[in-house]
Each structure stands twice: as C-alpha cells, then as structure tokens.
Chain A
Amino acid sequence: MNVRMIVTSLGTSAAMLAATVAQAEDGYDAPAEWPSPVVEHLRGSLLVDRLEYARPDEGDDALVWDFQAWYGGDVNRLYLKGEGENVQGDGEDAEFESLDLLYSRLIAPFWELQGGIGYQGGIATDDHLKRYFGVINLLGVVPYRLETDAGLRVSDDGDISASLESEYDLRITQRLYLQPRIEMSASADEVPEFGVGKGLNSIRTGLRLRYEFHRKFAPYIGGYWQKAYGDTADMARAEGESVEDTGIVAGIRMWY
C-alpha cells in the first residue's frame, strides 16, 4: 500500500488525519489540511541471496534457496526469511530448513535485532518432519564489512540451538565479486529425529564468484565444503549418510 497514492488520488480522511497528526506534532502552525512537506513511505524489498543448483560429490543434486524479504520503515521492519532445498530424485517434496517471520528493529547503525517465529519442515506436504521455533536474531555488518546473521532458536519441544552465518563480498572489479561464506550450527540438546546432536553440529563454507550484469541480477558459480561434528556426525554415519562433503554450485543472486 502506498501512502502517497492514497493521499494524492483518493485523499481519504484517514490519510489526511495521519498527515495532520504528524504536522501538529511539529507545531509550526500549518493548517490541518496541508500535506507534510516531506512524506515518508514504507517500502519493501526482496533479496534472493542464493538460488542455486548444487551438485555434491556424494549424494543427490539439490535445488537450494536462501532469501529474505522485508517491509517497513527505516527502523521497524517485518522480515520473512527462508532457507531450504529440494533434493532431486529422493521422491520427496521441497523442505524449509528454516522459514522465519520476524519483527526487526534497528538498534545500532549497522545492527538489527529480530524476533519472531520459525518453522522447519516440508512445504505443504508431510514428507518431512516439522517443528516450530521461537527465534531471536542479530543481523548486521561487523567492522570490515562481514555481513552476519546470528540466531538463537528454541523449538516447540524446548530444544535450544544456535546458528551463525557470515559472508563477505570481495570486489574484484566493479561487477565481479568473490563471496566467501561460512555457516555454523550448534545445539544445546540432542534431537535425534532431526539428526541433531549436542554441541557443534556442522560447519559449511562456500566460495562463490558472481558477476553483476545488473545490480539486481547476478549469476554465480562456486563450491562448498561441509562437515558434521560430534554426535551429529555419529547419527549421520549410523544413517549411512556422509559426514563430510564437497560440491559445486551454479545459481543466481537477485533483489528488488
């Protein structure tokens, strides 16, 4: 919904009232029906950071995605963040590793504190086990420009886990970027049905080379390495799954 559209084309009393209130607070005696000299608009943005086809050395290919969308103002925003994959040829539908709906507030120039609810499981199917979380996130940029997303989640069964994602854009030319990224997850509880052990669960690192044909559209290629640790690794072994893996990816980064 666009506030300006309402004000200019419809001129509804509600919008006028909003403008009036803003102005009355400023207290410079402007008549109530005058518009505000500077009008702020809420806006939204969608970043598909990764939409990629991954080919591991072992196991099945997968379509992987990682997006975040927000709507709001400069300080308060509503976020929808999702990460998931669809393993090809396993006969199962796609799965969200996480799908979070978060209220976000700018608490420092480079930092947003986010809180809300999260979901893990299948997309509209029961192919995958599912669970819900309470989520707290700190999203921002640390000095030296590492974009960082640190999260703490508590599941509906009371299991506590933490994750840390960080990525960096190394500018090779004005349009060619090399992006190293790292993801770590850890858990305070053992959750065997999700293959999660106590302690450090896994580390995943990746390196992607992207070319920004347009700021909003950039294809990339890259590779990753991942490894499970501790009980999590033992559970994977018991299931006959690999504990350490490398693979290559090709995908697109885009935003609006």
Chain B
Amino acid sequence: MLFVSKEFVAFIAAVIAIYYICPKKFRWYVLLAASLFFYTMDDVRNLIYLAVTGVTSWGLCLILEHITSDASKSIKKIKDKEKKKEFKARVQRNKRIFMLLAVLIDLGILGFTKYADFVVSNVTALFSHRMRVTDVFVPLGISFYTFKTVSYVLDVYRGTSKAEKNFFKLVLFVTYFPQAVQGPISRWNNLSATLFEGKNAGLKPFASGLIRIFWGYFKKVVIADRLVVPVMALTHDHASYQGAYVFVAILMYAMELYCDFTGGIDITIGISECLGIKVEENFILPYFSKNIKEYWNRWHITMGSWFTDYIFYPLSVSPRMLKLSKWSRSKLGNAFGKRVTVYISCFLVWLATGVWHGAAWNFIVWGLLNFVVIMISQELEPLYKKFHGRFHLKDKAWYGAFEMLRTFFLMGMIRMLDCYRNVPVTFKSLGSMFTSWHMKVFTDGSLLEIGLDLKEYILIGICAVVLFLVSLYRYRTGRELREKISGSPDLTFACCLVLLMITIVFGAYGKGYNTSQFIYNQF
C-alpha cells in the first residue's frame, strides 16, 4: 500500500475508527494488527524477516537485562575492590557478546538483502568478471525498522532502556505501520511512552493531526508528484540538459524531495497525533539552515541522531580513538591534532550514512562529499568568525538569508548525486552550470518542453510561496501554523476542506501519471 493510494486513505480511516471504538487497554492490539496487515499486504515474506529480527532482539535483550540484574545482586556480596572491578569487566564482556549477536543478526539481514548484489558485483568486477546476485527479496522499509531495532538493543545494552518483556509490544514498536515506509527512526524510550497506552488524543491534537495529514498529502500529491516528471526528464537525458537546466533541476529536485519526504513524515506524524501517539520530529525547517551542520540537525533528524549516538560518539570516545587523539596532538599540535580523531569518526559516519542510503557508488560519494564540506567549513570557521566580526555580519538579516541560500544550493548540488545516480555524470552536469550557462533557456520556452506546461509552473510557483509562508511563520514564531488553526474546530474544518479540494483538483494523479513510489521507500 502506497501512502498515496485510495486503499491507504481508507485504511487509515478504518484504523483510527476501530482504534477509538476499542477499549483503551486493547488499542495497541489494533495497531499491531494494522501494522502486520500493512506488511502482509506488501508481501507475506516481510513477516518472516520481521519475525527473525523481532524474536532475536526480544530474546537477547531479555538475556541482557537478566545478566545486568543478576550482576547487580552478586556485586554487593563482593567486598574486595579489585575483584569488584574484575567482576564488572567480566559481566560487561558477557553482555557485549549478546549485544553483538543481536546487532549482527539485525545488520546481517540488512546487509544481505540490500548490499549482497553491490558487494559481489563490485568485487567480482575487480577480477574482470562481473557477477550479480539478483532476486534478493528486500523487505519493506528494512533500513528503517532495522535501525529502530538496533537502537533498542543498544539502549538496553547501555542500560538506558528497560528490555520489554511482552514480545508483541516489541513487535509493534518495530512494525508501527505509519513509520514503515520512511521513518522517522524512533527510539524505544520515546515511542513506547505513548504507543501502548491507548490514550485519547484530545480534540486539539486530533485536529492538528488531521490538518497535518491533509497538509502532507497536499505536499506529496500536488507538488512532489507533479515535479517527478520534469526531474526525471532533466536527469535521464542529462546529455541534452546541461548548464542552466541543471540549475532548474537542482531547484526542482530540492522541492520534490522536500515535499515528498516531509509530506510523508507529516502523514506519519499526523496519523500518530490522531491516535494520541508521540513521534519524534524528523524535519525542522531544513532549508532555513545557515550551514551544513545545522542542515543535518534539521533534515532527517532521527537518522542523523542515530548515527551520532550509535556510531559517532562511541567511535570518537573509544579507548583506541582517545589514544590516537593523544598521539596526534603531540605530533600535529594541539589545535589541529585535537580535530584529527573527530574527522576520522566523522568520515566513517558519513561513509556509513552513504551506504545506508543505498548500495551504490553515488550514495557513497554523496556521503563523503557531505563529510568533505563539513570538514572544510569546520576548518574555515575561525576565518569566518573573524570575517563576520569585522563587518558585523551576524546581525544582518540579508546576510542570514545569504547563508541560507548558500547552504540550500550547496546541499542541492550534492543531492543531485542521488538524482543522476551516476557519479561522473553528476560532476559533469554540475560543472556545466559554470561553463555552458545559457540564459535563453528561461525565455525561449525550452522549459515548457520538459513535462510541465505554463499553468503547472504557475501552480508550482503558488505552492512554493504558500510553503515558504507557512515555514516562515514557524521560523518567526517557533510554532506551527496548524497549532493555531487547530484551536478552532471551524478553522480546522475549513483548512482540511481547502487542502482536500486543492489536492483532489490539482493533484498529479490519475491517467498519465504513475503514483510515484516514495523516494525513500527502498531505504
């Protein structure tokens, strides 16, 4: 079931209705049934993978917890300090074995289903005989649910979460259907706080959730799906579309991806709000970022924080890294030496992020480019600071806007890697913006040949203005506009109705258009 399908709309309506008809105690069973149904509708084989991931992490986490509680009892009996330390280390080693087992099983499945073909074909290519491992079944949203599960295992291992005894509750956490296709990658502590309670949402949050669902559909169906056509045209036939066209493609893809991804998340969180369930935000005005680090704090937040918490931090503060840090500081000087280990960790994190996005070179290069930009901006920071201080730029609004535009285009250019899906082509196309820019593309009607007519451009333009104004409201006030609207039932109704009508009339669906798969579906 695609989010943008009549079936899914009917499905959510039914789930919300049944959810509220049921007594509170049983509501999470409704969600469990709905989630399993959702995966089954996609492919029955999903259930096998989910079962393996679910059972192993459930069981191993219970063992982890058992070891911990056992140890805390026995340690009280040990009086000798040295022995205490030794005992602790032994317990830690035991725990690590079970943790690693769980994590390796989860990541192993992910690795096999998504990366087997990539690895085999690239390795065999080295020996000049390329082989392919095709026909591997990729479970729905495996990257997302695997990451959710791994974070649960690690949190139990670290002692920040308690292991869940009820197997089915854990299964619901892993499969919670609104998150199945594209996240957010929730943490156990956050999601479990409201997932099983079955509390009533309350009128205002329900209204806000409803608006958010409609808003999400508007972004996906009216804007993103309409932009699919020109973006495909521009990037497929990249040889014909160079120079100024690449600039257009960057703008369009930035808008398409934003609307598709945040629209999907709006639907996910909107449904959750209607069910009285709190889900982490995944985007907070990403295109208002003034630098790339800020961008990654605002875009796909749950993914970024996952990598920070479970890879970047443990890696950078591991004994080995700390040792390396000491060495590098002594060799390379305090200031730069201090940063060396950070950069090494950062490099590895972005490599992993790239790989997570997809088994292809373009994603790996994409991840590394992010690393390079972050490193350069980090190195240049003192220089920037001096520059800003000298001209008092930090308090000037136009300079802030300039920084946002700069970040927007920089990220837009890097992002084209996952649009062209080919590294040399991407660099060549980006380069052509500087070598063969033709202004006449904008005036001679060429842009009407790429799958949008004038009326559609006007429509997209109006939508862009609306999106910007709504975002600006949030930026200025720190509150979402819908929070204000949802206070009044009449306004909520009016808002939903207008969004519904706009989506129905101006949506890019029906004949001539394929309901485009979520761009993030395969991740």
- Do A and B interact? no
Give me the interface of A with B, judged by CB distance under 8 Å: none
